[in-house]
Amino acid sequence: MSLWKDFSNGFYTENPIFRISLGMCPFLALSTSVQNAIGMGAAATFVLVWSNVAISSLRNVIPEKIRIPCYIVFIATFVSLVDMVMAAYAPPLHKSLGIYIPLIVVNCIILGRAEAFANKNTVISSLLDGIGMGIGFTLAMALMASIREILGNGTWYGINLLGQRFANQPVLMAILPPGAFILMGYILGVFNIIDRRKERAA
Partner 1 sequence: MSHALLLSTAVSTTGGSGGGGIAQIMGLVIGGILINNYVLSRFLGICPFLGVSKQLDSAVGMGAAVVFVMAMAGAACYALWQLLLVPLHLEYLSTIVFILIIAALVQLVEMVLLKYSPALYKALGIYLPLITTNCAVLGVAVLNKDAGYNLGLSVVNAVAGALGFTLALVLMAGLRERMEYSDVPLFLKGKPATFILAGVMSMAFLGFAGLGV
Binding site for partner 1 (CB under 8 A): 21-22, 24-26, 28-29, 69, 72-73, 76-77, 79-80, 83-84, 98-99, 102-103, 105-108, 111, 170, 172-173, 175-182, 184-186, 188-190, 192-193, 196
Nearer to partner 1, 36 or 125 (CB): 36
Nearer to partner 1, 13 or 21 (CB): 21
Give the 3-state secondary structure of residue 65.
Answer: coil
- Cα separation of 122 and 126, whole Å? 6
Alpha helix positions (H), the chain: 2-8, 24-29, 34-57, 67-89, 91-97, 108-113, 123-153, 163-168, 177-201
Rounded to a whole number of angstroms, the minimum distance from the CB of residue 24 to partner 1 is 4
Rounded to a whole number of angstroms, the minimum distance from the CB of residue 193 to partner 1 is 5
Q: What is the CA radius of gyration of the chain?
A: 18
- Which residues are bridge partners to 45 per DSSP? none
- Cα separation of 56 and 116, whole Å? 11
Nearer to partner 1, 97 or 127 (CB): 97
Nearer to partner 1, 116 or 190 (CB): 190
Rounded to a whole number of angstroms, the minimum distance from the CB of residue 49 to partner 1 is 18
- 159-160 and 155-156 strand pairing: antiparallel
- Cα separation of 120 and 126, whole Å? 9
Nearer to partner 1, 35 or 77 (CB): 77
Rounded to a whole number of angstroms, the minimum distance from the CB of residue 168 to partner 1 is 10
- Cα separation of 45 and 7, whole Å? 13
Rounded to a whole number of angstroms, the minimum distance from the CB of residue 105 to partner 1 is 5
